[in-house]
Structure 1
């Protein structure tokens, strides 16, 4: 509904008065922005600023404030649209397309749009000034992320080539930008130029020695060179500075498993569960405190088939107790952000994987049940359920679970392919594995599986596949390089 103030602002002969009123209104909104931003009330702030837009045609300052508030509130689509409008008002400002590109990369996974936005700044050349290296960084990241998503090898190789070219240009324009240097090292690592990646990464660490992503990448590069002890030392240094970083802790688990075995790595999983509970346990903040705090711990019973001294009744009672805890957790799952619960799911699945590696299948079943209670249709849960069924010799059930997981998310083809080969369906398994090496061309497991399939029918191509697998395994990190976030 139009107000007398709105009508006043639209009168053509009231230009001076309109400007004065608009200035007053802008001052009020600036004060509102300061107050709400300090309290993190970005969603409410963006709603207030949206109402101001009806009398803010071509008023850059209010549009820019709206874009920033939408960005902070996680409303990426609206923020990109607003920053594009800001760029129309001030086409000479290179920061505006880069803000939109940042959102496209970090929130929306709109990598093609981020590429187009970065190119508008790159095309300005020297006129972009200090923003030119950042524009090349945005361009390189958009290419790198498109390469990770590409299903065809030729497209992936081309995107990787363009990414390396853009990031090298960014580094040459600003060799003192630690983030650019780190991402150049990451891109070299992604194309398995492990030794070459060390040089820009060292430059990044010289500029910012406590950067978590640089330290994490260094640990992964050391693990790719099979220096697992040095990698774990580097990771311990990173964790001393970033003790709450779960991404680092998952890598620590993998390194401990490689160095000391599954039992030692399980201790870290136990610590991760307790750390998750101390940070995120939603039950503690329940209204009135009526719900008891959920007790998260790894199972300590043993499968009867392993000749454990623990009686089977202990295992049964433990599982029954767990069902009650899982039921409570499931009822509270919606009370917090999704990433909290996906982190817990990953911890349980990691523990389940370690139990399977240690031959303790009942404990693995317990962990998978905990993860399944959180996200029953997660492709990661289905893959691990399939792996457990496979270890128990239930091959038909395993294939059904792998098929279901692949229908949700296109990963795990190499697991399904190897299962098909082992169960006698060699030609179908070979086809699945050929698709896998196209999508995951640096997976030594996929190449090894394809070699096994070809060897089973005496193909002359089998040795080449095994050789490729050996070469890739020699530069394979303990976890994929893609776990390092690529964002502006």
Structure 2
């Protein structure tokens, strides 16, 4: 009979232990009551189990937070009584008194009795527990005990008179409690795969590194995050790892630099002795209370803070995307919103890191993955629009292969515009987003689309009287300025010029400290021939920002104009100042060479031209051009060189120049085939070719025709079918009085670039020298229709009309040339183009 009773008790204990590990507390209470009735000698054990079961049942429904303190004080009295009974001498003999004290500490914490909770932990001698293998349930009890002890110590503030030694001792005890709690929690979750951490343990996992940060021990906080993240993952730690990864990335990005950063150390795996197996253990543990950690021979270990931040963010982003809720059903709305918040937080951090370190393709891939769960999320769409706009490169700077691949840069612009339109529909009152879209359109040469987006932003800001109103007027003015430069119709050109001037004046009126607004206003004044007003606007631009590249270029150009007086010293000083501010840009050398040729000497101009070529041939210049390192962020004229020798085309990426670009690429494809595709033109090659053409022009002005021909040959080797090469070769033939060859060169240049103004004027001169006067008149009148403010065109037309015996018409043309002469820069053919600056 006694043996049968012992077997029954043993079966009860086995079933109870199984139910405790499974957190089936109602069954634990029922079995404990049966055990108490069947075996009175196990009464202390039964009291402990009943108290534990009732406590855990309550806490499963009402977590131990401040809002539930009053309810806990009312409803946990019965559990308190049972657990207190288990702490008597019988309980000590039964071996449940220690666990009962630990659970009473948890119960008192739920009731808000923090001092009593700490007293229970002192009775259990929690601080001196020996590290040894524990059952799964005991692991959780001890982990919660350390966590609650730390929380209670935080709640009980020390008196102001406490010594620093006592404060430091308490802070050390607090951190140690949370660290032990976090390690035991991870170990518990690894051993109990289906268990949930709960509020207390989740708080403990996050508190230890935060306390290190608060105490100024940043490296200790980082090490704590690393230890938790290198622990072997379990089902219950997935959401926790996502939070910890995000927090570690934030700490690394905010408080760590290369000087203080310490790379993590790889865990060393010690192979087991005396075994014949070749299998390596991938998990290691440093003690009975330490969680298992990942360790492998090929495990990646970051070497600097950049690699670690990107690794942590990419791992976190992968977890956030994996846990995203895709269902749009109402029942999953809360879960979907929670997963979206987690994913958006990771994507935002990844955007900061990727943009800071120039990894835009990586960011775009992440945002593409975010599209599957961010339907209708305006924030994600806006981030994707901004990233796509930043990644879209100007067409002239595209470094893609020839043929259809030459438009990859434009394809990126198309995608950026499409994403911007989608994001704008979700954010109906977001003017800056539309300005980004307008900037993207202007860079790609889509003027009408850019004006449309700028006008939408302007309407939004006018309605709300927003802070971006001045910048909206500026973008609208830029669009109409580009439209005026593009169109060949006099009526449309005048209307666009008037509207652009009106918008730019409004922008300056609203913000008199915006150097970009003053710069574009000065540029507009120069386009319409109002040089005095252009100079005043340029001075205002440089007062707002002394190192503005566009303002320095305008100064050099305006002071070089005959109408502004021969202010050689000022023009040269402006060019040299621009060279000082932008040492790796080539446009200051272009302008300086042109001015030196007029006011210093031809040898000085040639020396500057050679310096330009040396700059472009150097490895440093190549790196700067590939990365646009020499350009201002908001003054892309420093890096956009569409046409370096045409006043008419001295504007941003235009439809005509884009057509010439395509024609040149097509000719290269036809002639070279696969060889042309293998050696596609790069921006560096184009800049080198332009430098050789500059040297050729300088040599022509110094009557060194053979040297000029050699420079043209060098440029032709780099860009054999460029209209600029053909145009300059025609100048060389014209200097040698080879007018038939010059005519063919100018006609070929116009076949590639039909609106290249310089080629049209020189073709008219060639016709004149050949005696084909009517053809010369036609060519010069077409040039006058395209560029009515160019004095040289009307002067040559006056000569042609005089030769045709039309003195009245010749006199009108000569009068127009004299009237426009002050507006013509003295070194026009050599001046770098005043391309359009587009603010970001």
TM-score, normalised on structure 1? 0.85
Aligned to 1:474: 822
- What secondary structure does 1:442 align onto? coil
Aligned to 2:367: 49
Q: Find the partner of 1:242 among 578, 582, 587.
A: 582
Question: Deviations 1:174-208 (Å, cap 9, x if unpaired)?
Answer: 11222112211221111110011222222222221
Distance in 2, matches of 1:332 and 1:157, equals: 42
Distance in 2, matches of 1:145 and 1:482, equals: 14
The structure richer in helix per residue is 1
Q: Is 1:123 aligned to residue 459 of structure 2?
A: yes
Distance in 2, matches of 1:145 and 1:248, equals: 24
Aligned to 1:164: 501
Distance in 1, matches of 2:678 and 2:600, equals: 37
Q: Is the 8 A contact 1:205 1:214 kept in 2?
A: yes
- 1:222-241 equivalences in 2 (<5 Å): 222-224=559-561, 225=564, 226-241=566-581
Deviation at 1:163, TM superposition (A): 0.8
Q: Is 1:154 aligned to residue 502 of structure 2?
A: no
- What secondary structure does 1:54 align onto? coil
Aligned to 1:309: none
Q: Is the 8 A contact 1:43 1:70 kept in 2?
A: no
Distance 1:335 1:54, change over 3 A: farther
Distance in 1, matches of 2:517 and 2:426, equals: 29
Q: Is the 8 A contact 1:333 1:341 kept in 2?
A: no
Aligned to 1:450: 797
- 1:385-424 equivalences in 2 (<5 Å): 385-409=729-753, 410-411=755-756, 412-424=759-771
Question: Deviations 1:200-235 (Å, cap 9, x if unpaired)?
Answer: 222222221121211221121111123222211122
Q: Is 1:32 aligned to residue 350 of structure 2?
A: yes
Q: Is the 8 A contact 1:167 1:183 kept in 2?
A: yes
Aligned to 2:654: none
Aligned to 2:615: 275
State the Cα RMSD in Å: 2.3
Q: Find the partner of 1:258 among 598, 606, 609.
A: 598
Aligned to 1:196: 533
Deviation at 1:348, TM superposition (A): 0.2
Distance in 2, matches of 1:141 and 1:4, equals: 45
Q: Find the partner of 2:469 among 124, 127, 132.
A: 132
- Bigger CA radius of gyration: 2
Deviation at 1:440, TM superposition (A): 1.1
- 1:324-339 equivalences in 2 (<5 Å): 338-339=682-683
Distance in 2, matches of 1:6 and 1:61, equals: 16
Distance 1:360 1:140, change over 3 A: same
Aligned to 2:267: none
Distance 1:337 1:430, change over 3 A: closer
- What secondary structure does 1:55 align onto? coil
Distance in 2, matches of 1:37 and 1:230, equals: 40
Deviation at 1:100, TM superposition (A): 0.6
Question: Deviations 1:265-315 (Å, cap 9, x if unpaired)?
Answer: 101011111122222458xx9xxxxxxxxxxxxxxxxxxxxxxxxxxxxxx
Q: Is the 8 A contact 2:726 2:748 kept in 1?
A: yes
Deviation at 1:37, TM superposition (A): 2.2
Q: Is the 8 A contact 1:167 1:184 kept in 2?
A: yes
- What secondary structure does 1:9 align onto? coil
Q: Is the 8 A contact 2:325 2:373 kept in 1?
A: no
| Structure 1, gaps ≥5 residues long | 286-330
Distance in 2, matches of 1:253 and 1:236, equals: 10
Q: Is the 8 A contact 1:430 1:453 kept in 2?
A: yes
Deviation at 1:262, TM superposition (A): 2.6
Q: Find the partner of 2:424 among 72, 79, 87.
A: 87
Q: Is 1:23 aligned to residue 341 of structure 2?
A: yes
Deviation at 1:263, TM superposition (A): 2.3
Aligned to 2:813: 465
Higher relative contact order (CA 8 A, sep 6+): 1
